[in-house]
Amino acid sequence: MKKKDITIYDIAEQLNISTATVSRALRDDPLVSAKTKKKVMELAERHGYQVNQFARNLRKRQTNTIGVIVPRLNSFFMATVISGVEQVANAAGYNLLISQTSESVEREHSIVQTMFHNRVDGLLVSLSYHSNNLDHFNRFAQKEIPVIFFDRTNMEGNFTSISINNVHAAYEATRHLLQTGKRRIVHITVSSTESIYKERFRGYSQALAEYGIPLDMSLVCLGDLSLEYGEEAARYILSLPQRPDGVFVANDNCAAGCLVSLKKQGIDIPNDIAVVGFNDDPVSRIVEPNLTTIRYPGYQMGELAARTLINHLNGDANMLLTQHILLRSDLVIRGSTVDG
């Protein structure tokens, strides 16, 4: 049978002192003598006493825990964001409770509920592909528990969001292809109502319109943006009666899959077909030719998200207002669009 845990009542009884004195000694309260503290700590150590952190947190109405919800943990970009969050949160004395939705709205709803019942002090969220409203976060708003969205955000509701200007970034990526003389440009994206992919599509459309090129929906491929879908999109591109000469993909992983598959079919990258990705993941520098992409600062995004949330928890009045914070992104030109 499992051995019964020792409590502060047991320690108090054995040392013939009050439970209040034991509690203070365990907290290193200066009101308790060094001699008594030593006795309490030695007995607690000998019997493996564990602080009931949950009960203590209930009394303080604070858990010193921040919930982090991301679409996938195997994403390099998300890993860098979490590193930034962890750096700031740990320095401020907060622990992280991290969970992934695996791009499932139903799982996102369940995780949000779990985070709420675990009494996290605040929440940092990057939404799943098809999460098109924020109703499941209302319980946090009602309790005035801060929620900050990053990267994949939704502008509705009274929440703060941190992202890049996805419309402008996609416009820059597409315009770069147009500036190199490409005119039939495929856009590979996700079949999603999620805002950042709609915004990237809008940027793509704006660049085409600026060059007087009508939007052709047969050149828009909708998939899950996986490496495997990149291969499938490459087959579709090569099946078109009039071959495209450019491809703009909404992430690097899928762009790499597409680029490698096109090369296997004898396509000269970038002379026959130029390829642009998005995110500046390590894969963009592994494929040959290296992938032109959009770079934006994941680590800094994580730092800013955590710092903004912690400032709010510390009572900074400015944090009570809804904010939409935009970080800078840059087009990184490599060999997949410029030969030599």
CATH of the domain at 34: 1.10.260.40
Q: Tell me, yes or no, whether 173 and 249 share the same domain.
A: yes
Q: Tell me, yes or no, whether 109 and 159 share the same domain.
A: yes
Task: Identify the pLDDT of residue 51.
Answer: 57
Task: Identify the pLDDT of residue 47.
Answer: 76
Q: Tell me, yes or no, whether 175 and 266 share the same domain.
A: yes
Please give the single-letter amino acid code of residue 252: D
Domain range for 153 is 64-165+298-329
Task: Identify the pLDDT of residue 8.
Answer: 83
Ranking 11-15, 99-103, 204-208, 312-316 by mean pLDDT, the lowest is 312-316
Q: Tell me, yes or no, whether 187 and 289 share the same domain.
A: yes
Helix H or strand E segment including 319: none
Q: Tell me, yes or no, whether 103 and 244 share the same domain.
A: no
Q: Tell me, yes or no, whether 260 and 241 share the same domain.
A: yes
Query: How do beta strands 324-327 and 160-164 pair?
Result: parallel
User: Is 312 strand, coil or helix?
Assistant: helix
User: Residue 56's beta-bridge partner residues?
Assistant: none
Please give the Cα distance from 69 to 90 (Å, whole number): 17
Task: Identify the pLDDT of residue 291.
Answer: 98
Burial 63-91 (b: 16+ CB within 10 A, else e): bebbbbbbbeeebbbbebbbebbbebbee
User: Does 59 map to a domain?
Assistant: no
Task: Identify the pLDDT of residue 26.
Answer: 83
* CATH of residue 152: 3.40.50.2300
Q: Tell me, yes or no, whether 171 and 280 share the same domain.
A: yes
Q: Tell me, yes or no, whether 47 and 26 share the same domain.
A: yes
User: Does 334 map to a domain?
Assistant: no
* Confidence class for position 58, pLDDT limits 50, 70, 90: very low
Number of domains in the chain: 3
Task: Identify the pLDDT of residue 74.
Answer: 86
User: Is 189 strand, coil or helix?
Assistant: strand
DSSP H helix total and E strand total for the chain:
12, 12
User: Does 16 map to a domain?
Assistant: yes
Looking up tokens 């909708």 gives 222
Q: What is the mean pLDDT of the chain?
A: 89
User: Does 336 map to a domain?
Assistant: no
Q: Tell me, yes or no, whether 205 and 141 share the same domain.
A: no
52 has a pLDDT exceeding 60: no
Question: CA 34: distance to chain centroid?
Answer: 47
Q: What angle do CA 163, 168, 173 make, to 5 degrees?
A: 110
Task: Identify the pLDDT of residue 167.
Answer: 96
Question: CA 108: distance to chain centroid?
Answer: 13
Task: Identify the pLDDT of residue 54.
Answer: 45
pLDDT higher for 167 or 48?
A: 167
pLDDT digits (tens, 9 = 90+) for 225-264: 999 999 999 999 999 999 999 999 999 999 999 999 999 9
User: Does 135 map to a domain?
Assistant: yes
Looking up tokens 């992938």 gives 291
Q: Tell me, yes or no, whether 161 and 309 share the same domain.
A: yes
Q: Tell me, yes or no, whether 159 and 206 share the same domain.
A: no
2 has a pLDDT exceeding 50: no
* Confidence class for position 278, pLDDT limits 50, 70, 90: very high
Please give the Cα distance from 208 to 98 (Å, whole number): 40
pLDDT digits (tens, 9 = 90+) for 100-159: 999 899 999 999 999 998 889 999 999 988 787 888 998 888 888 899 999 988 766 678
Q: Tell me, yes or no, whether 274 and 225 share the same domain.
A: yes
User: Does 58 map to a domain?
Assistant: no
User: Does 119 map to a domain?
Assistant: yes
